[in-house]
Structures are given as structure tokens and as C-alpha cells.
Chain A
């Protein structure tokens, strides 16, 4: 029964129901979106290189900040982790494929259409969405360009894709574990993903609801968010962040999972505190539903509300602290080596923790009044999203790429990329903390002269960081085409888990008969 992939290029990729091929599609798609969103970021940083307007119109600047956020969150980071889940979850739990392979194909192939619709708005009359990635009403309703309807349709498709992808992961993990693979024996990447999948099924429909209400306000005369008709724009912020806060954990939990696989491998020690990691992940997921209004401390909440959301937010630091403690303790007295995936993972732990601390600062309701909507917030979420999700995604690619294609990447080039990325990232975003504390608001195309120096530093860092990603692309292509062939099933000396018992490169079909667990 060992069928290979279809001979024809088109039928192989368009009609694929193979988890590995679909995982590959997701990963390439997300990398393409990552470069596109990165190009938008380069436009932003080029304009902000000096005060005054040099390159683009303010309207276009607004479209760039909006599209950068939307493309990076929904097009780059989320599909990247879905791609990793597709590749790795069946191999990690000893399943032959995903539970619902044809739905898997559908959930990938609607994504390019969603982003084609979204990106096409940039070329339409009135321009693309210009209201920020959080698309607060009434900016996104009363004052939105006409293309907002395309944006809404695009978000609906992305949501459908995410929900289908998540259901697939839930069904796979519940039904298709190899005999003996109990829940508490699952690798942590699988655990974090199954919890993420439940979050996605719960909140992507809320996002769909928010954009549907926008659609009705814009086109059908309802007044959900329109004060003139008795609605309330603040309601939009509540609905959005009821989706939006779990969303940030949807992005970061699989990243936690990746790092929890990599650090034990290169420490040559089992993960410290496995079960506490599982419970911490579940606690973070639960807490993510009850803290949403810390994004909107300045809307005029009663003091009791501010205090509640402040303390509940601070509570998240407890399970997150457990995780950081466990990663550090895993490394403690380990036989450490510093290959590229490990470097990215250690940088993840350091920089994510740093971003977590600035998050603690932002959670203080009284202080947030000063930080709100400044570059301090921008710096904070780039520390957790870029140094968090993107670094861990990069680590994951370097860690599993040799397993996927049976060729070793260039370690020197990987390390060079890491150091450029690490230094450039900090040059880009560290100064943004200072800018924010000094009062520079986010989402403006221009700024006062007092902010000029740090903005220039930040822009230089951003261009370096962008360059590091091209090196990454080059290294990956070089590995797939011309990398040194390897056939050691384990690839890494300290790697543990079912995926490393398979031959390298991983065959097209794996675990057609379930593996036997010791």
C-alpha cells in the first residue's frame, strides 16, 4: 500500500491529503506572507527613518501598519504553526495521517484566497484597510474605506480555515494516538497545540461575529457599534478583545511547545516538570478568556473593573513563570550544545521573559494610562510575538528540517543568521521602549523631533532584521536542494520521541501500522 506522492506537480499539491505535503504548503505559504508582512514593515520603518514625510502618504502609511499586523498575525504566524502541527503531530503521536485529510486540504487552500482578497484591496480605489489591525469601530465602520467589505470577507475565510484546521488537530489527537500513548505521555508540542485548537474553536467564531456585526452596521443599517443608532463603539472593543486576548495565546502556546521540544534535546535531559508544563498551559488558556479588558484600560471603566482586570492579568505571570522556570531548570546541569535551534530557543526564553515583564508593567492599570497606544506597547508585543513566536518558529524549522528533507542545513550560516537576527531584533525594538515612555504614539506616519534619534536606530535594526530573514530563506532552499545528505533517524544526539524513530528523511507515509510504545 506504499503509494508515493502523485507524479503530477498540480495534482500532488492541489489535491493533496497527505499531512506532510499540506504541512509543507502551510509553511511555504506562511513564509511568503512573512516576507510580504516584512516588506510592509520595511516601508513603515523607512518612512519613520527621519521625521517629516519622505516616502509615502500618511493614508498609505496607515494601510501599511494595518496590513503588516493582519498579514503577520493571520498569514505568517498562525499558518506557520498549523504547518508545524500538520507535519509533526501525526509523527509525534504515531498516527498515519491527520484525522480528516480532505478537510485538511480545504483548510489550507482557502487561505491563499483569503489573503489574495485582503492584499488586493491595496490596489483598489480607496485603498486597503487603514484602521489598524484591531479595526476598532467607528474607524472600521463609519470612517472605513469601501474596501472594508473585502477585508471582512477575507477575515471570514481565514476564520473558517483556522476552525477547520483546529478541529482536525483535536480529532487527530483524541482519536489517533498510538496504543500506549496516553495523554500525559504526549510530547508537549502536541499538548500545547491541542489546547490552542480548543481556543481557536472557541474564539475564531467571536471574531467572525465581530466582523459580521461590522458588515451589518456598514451595509444593513444596524447599530451595534454606532452611537447615533443607540449602539456603542466600546462594545466593539470588548467583542474584539474577547477574541483578541485568547488569540495572542493561540500564537504563543505552540511556540512554547516547540521550545519545550528543543531545549531538552540540546540539554540532553528530559524536560523538567512535564506535568506542570501541561497544567500551566491549560491555566494560561483558561486565564486568557477573563482578562481581555486590560487592552482597554483607558475607555473609562469603573475602578472595580480596572482592578479586576489588572489582578487577573498579573495572575497569568504565575503559570508563565512556571514555564520559564522549567525551561531554565531543564538546561541546568545539562550537557548543553548550541546548535542553531537551541540558540533560537534560548533567545526565545530570554526575550520572551523580557516581553513578559514589560507586559507586567502594562498590566498596571494606573501606569497603563501613560503607556497606552505608545511605542512601549509596540515594543512589548514585538518582544513576545517576534522574539516569541517567530524565533520559536525559526528554531522549529532548523530543528526539524533535516528530518523532513534528509539533508543538513549549514550550521555556520544558521548561527550567523541567529546572531544577526538577535542583535538586529534588539536594535529595532529596544529603543521603541524608550520612544514609548517618552510619549511617542503608535500608528502615526510622523513624529516630533525629540524622537528622531531612536527612530533612526530602530529603522537600521529593522533593515538588518529583514536581511537576516533572506539569509534564512537562502539557507532553507540551499538545504533542501544541496544540503549534506544524512540518514541518522535521530538527527540530533539527544532527541527523544516517536518522530525520531522514523527513517530520515521522513517517508511520504509513516506509521501505517501503529508503533509500539515502551
Chain B
């Protein structure tokens, strides 16, 4: 048939289009979503480790920072903030501690995922040190004090007087089977 090449043309172009959309779904949409959340602060994700620079402490302003700890559905650890809230000046470096205890008879690995509310504060919550940057292996019955060192950026929007830092701790023992064997 005289149309054969043309049929094949449409077939190849359409299949290429389908492959491009498949790649788009897997390789473009997730990073695009992360980027969007990072720019807008939606999801309350905080950034990676922040290297402290000299900033003037704004002593005229006080911000209350509250701490919340949540266990994800299947996580049997004891997990809570030692202090439930602190009041800081923007620019001031502050260290606080969360307590975690593995109540089970098994060696486990936990991973805490941070979240900051309100959303427009997420970009101004700077952590120079956080246990959430790594996962937390705890042998059976062990406990640990987990430190967070943070600075509230003085550029924090004026409307925000209270910031809530929440950690949800997940059981990632299955993912990190290697580390569990090292504990023993």
C-alpha cells in the first residue's frame, strides 16, 4: 500500500510520544513536585544541613518554637521531645534534644522525617545539626538522646510568631537490614 511509510511514521512518532510521557512521569514529575514544594514550602519540608554564618541576633523579637513527635503506624519506639517548647530570638543558635528508646527486643533502625508549620516558615527554619540527617539505629532496649541544632532565620515573615517542628519516626529496619546486622 502506498501509505505504508506514512502509517509507520505515525506509529513511530506516537510510540516515541508515549515513551516520552512515561519518562516524564517517572523522571520529571517527582523532581518537579519536590522543587515546587521547596519553593512554596508546601509539605513543610526543611532543607539540608545549614552551615552557620555570623548573623546578628534580633533580640527585639521572640519566636516560640514547639516540638512534636509522632510515631508512624507500625513504629513501637518511645519517642518524644525532652522540652516541648522553647522561645528563641531570630538568629540565635539553639540546641534541643529528643529522646528515643527502642522498646522491643529487636535491633531496629528508625528514620525521623521533619515537618515545619506554618508552611511559609519552612524556608526560615535552618538546622545546622539534626539527627534526621541520618537514620537512627538502636539495638534492642537501647535509648538515645537525639540532638537538633537550629537557627531561626531573622528574615522569618513578621506574621509568624510560633513555629512547630514535628518529627514523624518511621521504622526502616527492613530497608536497612545491613545496619541491623552491624549492631549485633
Contacts and interface: CB of A to CB of B under 8 A. Distances in A.
A235 B35 CA distance: 12
A166 B111 CA distance: 45
Contacts of A229: 111, 172, 175
Contacts of B7: 99-100, 171, 175
Contact of A167 (B15, B22, B29, B171): B15
Interface of B: 3, 6-7, 10-11, 14-15, 17-26, 29-30, 33-34, 37, 40, 42-43, 72, 111, 113, 119, 168, 170-172, 175
17 contacts: A100-B7, A100-B11, A163-B15, A167-B10, A202-B17, A205-B21, A206-B21, A206-B24, A209-B23, A213-B26, A227-B113, A228-B72, A228-B171, A229-B172, A229-B175, A234-B43, A238-B29
Interface in A414-463: none
A331 interface: no
A163 B18 contact: yes
Contact of B11 (A167, A204, A242, A243): A167
B124 to A, nearest CB: 17
B43 A232 contact: yes
Nearest to B9: A171
Nearest to A204: B18
Nearest to A230: B113
B7 to A, nearest CB: 5
B179 to A, nearest CB: 14
A124 interface: no
Interface in A155-177: 163, 166-167, 170-171, 174-176
A29 to B, nearest CB: 23
Interface in A89-129: 99-100, 103
Given A206-B24, A230-B113, A170 B172 contact: no
B175 A221 contact: yes
Size category, A interface? 35 or more
A361 B150 CA distance: 45
Contacts of B11: 100, 103, 167, 171
Given A228-B170, A228-B172, A206 B25 contact: yes
B112 to A, nearest CB: 9
A174 B25 CA distance: 28
Contact of A302 (B10, B17, B42, B171): B42
Contact of A205 (B6, B22, B40): B22
A205 B10 contact: no
A235 B30 contact: yes
Contacts of B19: 205
A274 to B, nearest CB: 25
Given A99-B10, A175-B10, A227-B168, 13 more contacts: A167-B14, A170-B14, A171-B10, A205-B24, A205-B25, A206-B24, A208-B22, A212-B26, A229-B111, A230-B113, A235-B33, A238-B29, A239-B25
Nearest to B41: A302
A203 interface: yes
A209 B25 contact: yes
B184 to A, nearest CB: 22
A300 interface: yes
A502 B66 CA distance: 77
A136 interface: no
A42 interface: no
A178 interface: no
